[in-house]
Amino acid sequence: MKDLVFKHYHNKVRAHALVHKHIKKHYYFLNTMAILCPAIILTCIYIFIFKEGSGLWLFISSIASIAAFLYSGFSFSNAAKKVIRKRYKISIGKGTWRTEKFKELQSSKLADFLHNKDLKTRWKIEKLIELYKNDREKSKLPPLIASSLFLAVLTPNLTQFLFYIYKDKELMQPYEVLELFLGSTLLSMVVIAVFTIYKRTKDNIVNDIFQNKNNIREGLIQQLEDLLLRMPDEVEKEQAKDHLKEDTEYKVLRRKKMN
């Protein structure tokens, strides 16, 4: 049964099924730029350091690739908003197109399916979440290099690289040393900023671009957990039933007295 729920989410509920398939050109353009932009920037850095290419043109190429990537993301977001407004009659303002109303649309589609399959009970949804989490853990690959080991290997190599960069500083003019220092500092700040922005936007980028099974399963788990939060608790249900029963009995007695 969990495979049936996964298939329904994959084909009918996730953002790729509701939005992306209607804007394929924008979607593939964003995918392409997400791959090309880092490749172009890394190539420019490599040429600048080892091949002594024109710094100005390499800088312009990097800026142009970043601008193209930002444009692809902006174009994709606008196209997604148009689809949501037109097909699902959901109003969207500025900002992300994944609004709460869009998430409610996804939840309602999933809830209707679970209801039709007699799965819309708290314990069954919790069991589905447990099964999907087990599948997620089984499918995870262990990291090839642990973070601590990566840093231990990277640090001495980075030190040697900086020594290579600065080894001829005695032959440089003072302004050349200053330019090299400022350039290295600026590059370090850019790398830190890029990784910071990447960490903040990683989930959205992964969800919008990379559609592997693990990401789809993760989205389904989030939808089921959100659905659990929307469901009334069993105690609240019983209290509501008791209140309704008392109210009904009171109305019946009142009618009898009036008659």
- In a domain? residue 119: no
Domain count, the chain: 1
Nearest to 211 by CA among 3, 28, 85: 28
Q: Tell me: the pLDDT tens digits for 191-224?
A: 666 666 655 555 555 555 556 788 888 889 999 9
- In a domain? residue 65: yes
Tokens (6 digits) for 108: 């309602």
**Bigger pLDDT: 166 or 121?**
121
Residue 26 Cα distances to 29, 115, 151, 219, angstroms: 5, 35, 38, 22
53: pLDDT strictly greater than 90: no
**Bigger pLDDT: 131 or 96?**
131
Question: How large is the average pLDDT for residues 24-51?
Answer: 83
The type of residue at 10 is: H
Range of the structural domain that residue 71 is part of:
20-96
* pLDDT value at residue 238: 53
- In a domain? residue 82: yes
- pLDDT above 70 covers what percent of the chain? 61
On the CB side of 50, CA atoms within 13 Å amount to 7
Question: How large is the average pLDDT for residues 17-31?
Answer: 91
50: pLDDT strictly greater than 60: yes
Q: Which residue in this structure is represented by tokens 């262990």?
A: 142
Is the separation of the CB atoms in 76 and 30 below 8 Å? yes
The band of 70, judged by pLDDT with boundaries at 50, 70 and 90, is confident
Question: How large is the average pLDDT for residues 48-69?
Answer: 78
Between CA 184 and CA 191, with CA 42 as vertex, the angle to 5 degrees is: 45
* pLDDT value at residue 258: 67
* pLDDT value at residue 33: 87
The type of residue at 45 is: I
- In a domain? residue 62: yes
Question: How large is the average pLDDT for residues 88-98?
Answer: 87
Q: Tell me: the pLDDT tens digits for 137-194?
A: 887 756 555 556 655 665 666 666 666 666 665 566 666 666 666 766 676 676 666 6
- In a domain? residue 132: no
- In a domain? residue 79: yes
Q: Tell me: the pLDDT tens digits for 186-200?
A: 766 766 666 666 555
**Bigger pLDDT: 208 or 257?**
257
- In a domain? residue 56: yes
235: pLDDT strictly greater than 50: no
60: pLDDT strictly greater than 90: no
* pLDDT value at residue 181: 66
* pLDDT value at residue 130: 93
**Bigger pLDDT: 15 or 232?**
15
- In a domain? residue 199: no
106: pLDDT strictly greater than 90: yes
Q: Is the dihedral of CA 61, 64, 69, 72 positive or negative?
A: negative
The alpha carbon of 254 is separated from its chain's Cα centroid by a whole number of angstroms, namely 58
